[in-house]
Copies of this chain bind each other. A is one copy, B any other.
Amino acid sequence: MLYLVRMTVSPPYGMPPEEFERLKNQEKEVGIRLQREGVWKHLWRVAGAYANVSIFEVDSPEQLHAAIGSLPFFPFLSVEATPLVAHPSSINPADNPALKEEMA
């Protein structure tokens, strides 16, 4: 199942730069791992903002929460997850599995 996830980062003022840098690298590592696992399907930046828009593909909301909760930046994120479903007008089999059945 898919989720549209919007994460806005509020970097806390006062954190030593090197610590923030360390967290940022960890954040990147975790993000890459989740993408490799196919959980974090799309990751884009919102142009101009310290925020990202992502599509998560997971088997359950638990998996979604575990993924996002594992992010080192989690305490500085405000996150909104919107559950998505296939749209009957979508002709993209990847987004509209029903089409695959029709084509099968």
Contacts and interface: CB of A to CB of B under 8 A. Distances in A.
Given A13-B13, A43-B95, 19 more contacts: A3-B47, A4-B44, A28-B88, A32-B89, A41-B92, A42-B55, A42-B95, A43-B89, A43-B92, A44-B86, A46-B81, A47-B65, A47-B84, A48-B65, A48-B68, A48-B80, A48-B83, A53-B84, A61-B83
Interface in A28-56: 28, 31-32, 35-36, 41-50, 52-53, 55
Q: Is the interface on chain A under 10, 10 to 19, 20 to 34, or 35 or more residues?
A: 35 or more
Interface of A: 1-5, 11-15, 27-28, 31-32, 35-36, 41-50, 52-53, 55, 60-62, 64-65, 68-69, 74-92, 95
